Amino acid sequence: MVNPMTPSEIMRKCILCGRNLRIVLHESGEYTGGNFFRKVKLPVGDGENISLGKQKVLEMEVVEWTGDHEEMEYWECEGCFNEE
């Protein structure tokens, strides 16, 4: 029997403690297994930011850096997220 609602999984790391996180992405667009804050773009070298408008799901402004960049996602595990 095939379950059409099978969620997909992605592997991420907690940015604070380095623990491996198994994030489960559900059909509804929600996720469990970690706490996602934002994508962090680190511009490298020469270039400029061009605004591409708002991203619908997370209400984040999407920009395109015309130069080189490195992109990383900011995740925290439950332990770090719940710690003061």
The residue among 19 and 41 lying less far from Zn ion, judged by its C-beta, is: 19
Nearer to Zn ion, 52 or 81 (CB): 81
Cα separation, 81 vs 34, in Å, equals 9
Return the number of other C-beta atoms located less than 10 Å from residue 80's C-beta. 15
Shortest separation between residue 37's beta carbon and Zn ion, angstroms = 12
- CB of 17 or CB of 40, closer to Zn ion: 17
Show the tokens assigned to 48: 């400029």
The binding site for Zn ion (CB under 5 A) comprises: 14, 16-17, 19, 77, 80
Instruction: Please name the helix (run of DSSP H) or strand (run of DSSP E) that holds residue 30, with its range, or none.
Output: none
